[in-house]
A = this chain, B = another copy of it.
Amino acid sequence: MVLAVGALLIAAALSPRARAEDGYDLWLRYRPLAAERREAVARVSTGIVSPPQVSATLTAAVAELQTGIAGMTARKVPITSAITDGALVIGTPRSSALIAQLDLPLRWNNGGPAGPLWHDGYLIRNVALDGSRVTVIAANEDVGVLYGVFAWLRLAQTGGGLTELDVTSTPRIGLRVLDHWDNLDGSVERGYAGASLWDWWRLPDHLDPRYTDYARANASIGINGAVLNNVNAQAEILTAPYIEKVAALASVFRPYGIRVYLSVRFSAPIDIGGLKTADPLDETVAAWWRAKVDEIYARIPDFGGFLVKADSEGLPGPQGYGRTHADGANVLAAPLRPYGGVVFWRAFVYARNSSEDRVKQAYQEFVPLDGAFAENVILQVKNGPLDFQPREPFHPLFGAMPRTPLALELQITQEYLGFATHLAYLGVLFEEVLDADTHAKGTGSTVAHIVDGGVFGYARTGIAGVANVGAARDWTGAPFTQANWYAFGRLAWNPELSAHEIADEWLRMTFSSEPKFLETASSIMLRSREAVVDYMTPLGLAHLMGTAHHYGPAPWVDDLERAEWTPYYYHRAAADGIGFDRTASGSNAVAQYAPPVASRFADLAAVPDEYLLWFHRVPWNYRMHSGRTLWQELVRHYDRGLAEVEAMQRDWATLEPFVDTERFAKTTELLQIQAREARWWRDACLAYFRSRSGLSLPRGVAEPEHSLEHYESLRFPYAPGR
């Protein structure tokens, strides 16, 4: 008896049990290398020689080497004391006699003068040792060795040479921190990747293995701090039960060089302390904070410090008591200082009922306080003066606070850039910000050089990224959003890296090193952020997103409780023109920048197109550099944004041969959503601006799919992230 079985042949391929790549492994996939490369890696990883006394950090480093090499070469690399050709010798001069005997330029080497490495920098060299060719991964501190191990594994995964290594790498910024906006109920503000990673409810007893993998991922890109809870802080995080929970997380993170920080609510002395006031100059308040800090350090000796959002968007702060932000920050900083802790004090403030241009207010508030902050306070400043828009000019505080260390706050989670759904590689945005020249002390005073202390000699340096990590299996909710976490870490370590090279190494580790794949995927990534700018807020427009949830277009909203929360406040489109005049004839926000910058931004002829409507109000028929009118140019940008996403879809489709089924399908599906939403953005914005300008769409331009009324009628009560 014979039966045709035709369609059944596909059954095996359909088997749901064949575990796909679900993204959990991030860029630490360590997949088998092609034969030639596998041999090359194997030859330089014949054994691991580590110090006799290993710390938890060195144990983690060795484990990572073994895991990585086993994955790439299908071979278990022995831990050995024998120096042979191809050995990996790791350690610090203090822990390893082998490392000490090499004359390496490490700070504490041989008791001589300090070498060029910061304490968490590392050095990778191929040297001869006892007649054998070995690879040395050395550092002053164990965590530096761990960073060096991850760097070597990155080289091994991305195809770098491994036989003539002479790498010295030191982080340019001291505190490289992820800010989690995670609430104690497990929700994540502006989180689009599932619930909070922290299972507060079952901490401190239950330690999810994900906590370790989170720490590994961070350490692999040099992140050394994590603020565990939302800046819109719940006071309970400072109660004893939560301190126990935080201590449990700290114990998991410690071997990976990651300190924990907490966001605190300024009114905590009242909320949970039973005091009648939170006045920072009240001695009972100061005593309460001292006792609380002592309590924390008793459980977490390497606690990082506090992050504070105060007198901002309704949160309590020192101004409620007639005190300054410096008074507020300093009362927290004082007890932290002996322990080595810091206060990250956020500069994101703007007043209720102020007629002043919102983007000017942080500068006005904080510049007079320069020099008034305690030594261990770092002012944390968003990249732009508004709020994490697809594009903003750099924040004018950068360059304006010579005596106050400024940390740069970037948003990795895509609150305003399509959530975790849209493919928007933020390495490009981060690079643009870091490279922006403030001219604070002449040409070359880039934001990066402000933040890394180069310009003003800040004793402390920091950078923070608002995390896009959640309990989603792939951590960030989508394959490509992982790249934004990665790019943040890499740029925090070295702001000189280019977004392009970061994309390249991330793609190699996360997907494939096939040239055809790399070329196309890299192109998609590098174009993606500008596409978002184009279909959402081109030419210096900003904050056109839907109210509160920030999903989709809503440029028509003009009637919220606070004017500066409305899109209309920012574009002011009317029959006579569009844009916010921030020159001397308007709010004069340009004057907050150094003169070379200010004059460029203020000059209609000189201002870059991408900031035009941010700084200027112009008529619809204003003639652009391109020769087109503003209206034509605006339409063109919206069209281009949509066209770019459609091109990304086509390009991605060609990559199917190089990508596993699950991640290919997910990216394809998300690009489909992105294309639909890009069209929605374009159509809704053009329909609206047309209604304001009274102009027609240029010939050949597609009509919006629906009426303006349709777009205005849409409601999204269950948008995520709130």
Interface residues of A (CB under 8 A from B): 1-12, 14-18, 20, 22, 28, 30, 48-54, 59-60, 62-64, 66-67, 70-71, 76, 79-83, 97-98, 130, 183-187, 192, 194-195, 200-202, 205-207, 209, 212-213, 216, 234, 236, 419, 421, 471-473, 662, 665-666, 669-670, 672-673, 717-720
Q: When A3-B51, A719-B201 are in contact, do A8 and B83 touch as well, CB less than 8 Å?
A: no
A71 surroundings in chain B (CB, below 8 A): 17
In the assembled complex, how far is the CB of residue A638 from the closest CB belonging to chain B, in whole angstroms?
22
In the assembled complex, how far is the CB of residue A633 from the closest CB belonging to chain B, in whole angstroms?
32
In the assembled complex, how far is the CB of residue A198 from the closest CB belonging to chain B, in whole angstroms?
11
In the assembled complex, how far is the CB of residue A202 from the closest CB belonging to chain B, in whole angstroms?
6
In the assembled complex, how far is the CB of residue A102 from the closest CB belonging to chain B, in whole angstroms?
12
Residue with the greatest number of chain B CB neighbours at <10 A, chosen from A1, A17, A419: A17
Q: Are A195 and B50 in contact (CB under 8 A)?
A: no
Ranked nearest first, the 4 interchain pairs of A and B with the lowest CB-CB distance are A3-B81, A17-B67, A184-B718, A11-B62
In the assembled complex, how far is the CB of residue A707 from the closest CB belonging to chain B, in whole angstroms?
17
Considering only CB atoms, which chain B residue lies closest to A242 in the complex? B718
Residue from B81, B195, B665 within 8 A of A4 (CB atoms): B81
Rounded to whole angstroms, the CA-CA distance of A58 and B528 in the bound complex is 42
Majority-rule SS of A interface residues: loop
A3 surroundings in chain B (CB, below 8 A): 49-52, 81, 97-98
Q: Are B12 and A63 in contact (CB under 8 A)?
A: yes
Considering only CB atoms, which chain B residue lies closest to A212 in the complex? B16
Rounded to whole angstroms, the CA-CA distance of A8 and B201 in the bound complex is 34
Q: Are B202 and A16 in contact (CB under 8 A)?
A: no
Rounded to whole angstroms, the CA-CA distance of A81 and B8 in the bound complex is 11
A82 surroundings in chain B (CB, below 8 A): 2
Q: Provide 14 A-B residue pairs closer than 8 Å at the C-beta atoms, listed in order of the A residue.
A: A1-B130, A3-B97, A4-B52, A8-B50, A11-B54, A11-B59, A14-B59, A183-B718, A184-B717, A186-B194, A201-B720, A202-B673, A205-B669, A206-B673
In the assembled complex, how far is the CB of residue A532 from the closest CB belonging to chain B, in whole angstroms?
17
Considering only CB atoms, which chain B residue lies closest to A722 in the complex? B185
In the assembled complex, how far is the CB of residue A35 from the closest CB belonging to chain B, in whole angstroms?
22
A183 surroundings in chain B (CB, below 8 A): 718
Rounded to whole angstroms, the CA-CA distance of A51 and B201 in the bound complex is 51
Q: Are A670 and B16 in contact (CB under 8 A)?
A: no
A209 surroundings in chain B (CB, below 8 A): 16, 20, 22, 662
Rounded to whole angstroms, the CA-CA distance of A77 and B698 in the bound complex is 63
Rounded to whole angstroms, the CA-CA distance of A551 and B640 in the bound complex is 54
Rounded to whole angstroms, the CA-CA distance of A1 and B70 in the bound complex is 26
Considering only CB atoms, which chain B residue lies closest to A717 in the complex? B236
Q: When A7-B54, A59-B10 are in contact, do A195 and B471 touch as well, CB less than 8 Å?
A: yes
In the assembled complex, how far is the CB of residue A580 from the closest CB belonging to chain B, in whole angstroms?
32
Q: Are A8 and B59 in contact (CB under 8 A)?
A: yes
Rounded to whole angstroms, the CA-CA distance of A244 and B149 in the bound complex is 49
Q: Are B11 and A66 in contact (CB under 8 A)?
A: yes
Q: Are A205 and B5 in contact (CB under 8 A)?
A: no
A60 surroundings in chain B (CB, below 8 A): 14
Q: Are B14 and A63 in contact (CB under 8 A)?
A: yes
A472 surroundings in chain B (CB, below 8 A): 471
Q: When A5-B81, A14-B63 are in contact, do A206 and B670 touch as well, CB less than 8 Å?
A: yes
Q: Are B718 and A185 in contact (CB under 8 A)?
A: yes
Rounded to whole angstroms, the CA-CA distance of A162 and B612 in the bound complex is 77
A669 surroundings in chain B (CB, below 8 A): 202, 205-207
Rounded to whole angstroms, the CA-CA distance of A678 and B74 in the bound complex is 48
In the assembled complex, how far is the CB of residue A247 from the closest CB belonging to chain B, in whole angstroms?
15
Q: Are B8 and A62 in contact (CB under 8 A)?
A: yes
A213 surroundings in chain B (CB, below 8 A): 16
A83 surroundings in chain B (CB, below 8 A): 1
Considering only CB atoms, which chain B residue lies closest to A68 in the complex? B17
In the assembled complex, how far is the CB of residue A589 from the closest CB belonging to chain B, in whole angstroms?
36
A30 surroundings in chain B (CB, below 8 A): 17
In the assembled complex, how far is the CB of residue A522 from the closest CB belonging to chain B, in whole angstroms?
24
Considering only CB atoms, which chain B residue lies closest to A672 in the complex? B205
Q: Are A66 and B12 in contact (CB under 8 A)?
A: yes
Q: When A67-B16, A79-B12 are in contact, do A194 and B6 touch as well, CB less than 8 Å?
A: no
In the assembled complex, how far is the CB of residue A248 from the closest CB belonging to chain B, in whole angstroms?
10
A718 surroundings in chain B (CB, below 8 A): 183-186, 200-201, 234, 236
Residue with the greatest number of chain B CB neighbours at <10 A, chosen from A30, A194, A212: A194
A49 surroundings in chain B (CB, below 8 A): 3
Rounded to whole angstroms, the CA-CA distance of A187 and B183 in the bound complex is 13
Q: When A5-B79, A184-B718, A186-B720 are in contact, do A16 and B194 touch as well, CB less than 8 Å?
A: no
A98 surroundings in chain B (CB, below 8 A): 1, 3
Rounded to whole angstroms, the CA-CA distance of A670 and B201 in the bound complex is 11
Rounded to whole angstroms, the CA-CA distance of A15 and B666 in the bound complex is 29
Q: When A1-B130, A718-B236 are in contact, do A6 and B185 touch as well, CB less than 8 Å?
A: no
Rounded to whole angstroms, the CA-CA distance of A83 and B471 in the bound complex is 48
A51 surroundings in chain B (CB, below 8 A): 3
A52 surroundings in chain B (CB, below 8 A): 3-6
Rounded to whole angstroms, the CA-CA distance of A1 and B662 in the bound complex is 49
Q: When A2-B81, A8-B79, A471-B194 are in contact, do A670 and B717 touch as well, CB less than 8 Å?
A: no
Considering only CB atoms, which chain B residue lies closest to A200 in the complex? B718
Q: Are A80 and B421 in contact (CB under 8 A)?
A: no
Rounded to whole angstroms, the CA-CA distance of A473 and B208 in the bound complex is 11
